Amino acid sequence: MERSISTEAIVVRRERYGEFHKALALLTAELGLIRATAYGAFKMNSRLRLGSEPFTWCVARLYHNPVKHTYKVMELEVTDSFPGLQQEVGRLAAASLWAEIVQKSFGAGETSGGLFTLFLACLRSLCASAVRAHYVTLQFLWRFLALAGYQPDTARCDRCGQPFAPGKAVRYAPRSHSLLCAACAGDQGIPIAAGGLRYLDATRALDLPAALAVTVDEQSLQGLQKGLAAMVQSVLEGELTSLRWAGVAR
């Protein structure tokens, strides 16, 4: 691999390293999720200071040590810092949840390019004043499941194979990661109202802006939030601590 690399990146995490340095987690368009050190980035006069903050979209110029397999940040050319995230707590909480998913999925492995595109599109939508954060989060979760190869079938019961009855609620079974009809699920699993199921089915093939124009009633919304959160946690095999701050029931 070349020692000098230039790639689009989004900062998903930054931590203090030593007195003046930052340890960054970068979701990149070409390399997936990587760790990189921005030396001196905590200094007030550092040219890396602003570009190394969370949720900054930039062109990162990196030095790669092929022996230690480490990355050093040489330059961060900021494309957008998404200042709209700071205008509302709900927006920042939503972005933090997505960043946690990015990290715990290790950038979605070989589909990291798709995850980069999704993360960027959701950040841009989140900063649009007309878009509510919980709908962007629904779409991030639903589309992440598709990228990971774990988006469940919304047309028929995973156990009996029968088509879901129109207007009837279904249940999500976390242990089998499946959607079940009422007869197969009984009172087990997380209920998803018929309106929520229609929402998932209707937005599956839409682009993000079109999907964000689709809304559901409050009961269906709450069921979707809980159900999709459970689906993603099942895939990641662990809890998402950011759910409480993002206003999503666990």
- Measured between alpha carbons, how far apart are the two ends of the chain, in Å? 42
CA angle (92, 135, 197) in 5-degree steps: 145
Q: Which domains does the chain have, with CATH numbers?
A: 4-81 (2.40.50.140), 88-241 (1.20.1440.120)
What confidence score (pLDDT) does residue 2 get? Answer: 64
Q: Which of 168, 167, 198 is nearest to 183 (CA)?
A: 168
**143 exposed, middle or buried (CB, 10 Å; 0-12, 13-18, 19+)?**
buried
DSSP 24-61: EEEEETTTEEEEEEETTTTSTT-TTTGGGSTT-EEEEE
Q: Tokens in use for 139?
A: 């779409």
Please list, in sequence order, all residues whose beta carbon lies within 8 angstroms of the beta carbon of residue 65, skipping any fewer than 6 positions away. 3, 71, 72
The per-residue pLDDT string of the chain (250 residues; one tens digit each, 9 = 90 and over) reads: 568 999 999 999 999 999 999 999 999 989 999 999 999 999 999 999 999 999 999 999 999 999 999 999 999 999 999 999 988 899 999 999 999 999 999 988 888 999 999 999 999 999 987 889 999 999 999 999 999 999 999 999 999 999 999 999 999 999 999 999 999 999 999 999 999 999 999 999 999 999 999 999 999 999 999 999 999 999 999 999 999 877 675 5
Confidence (pTM): 0.94
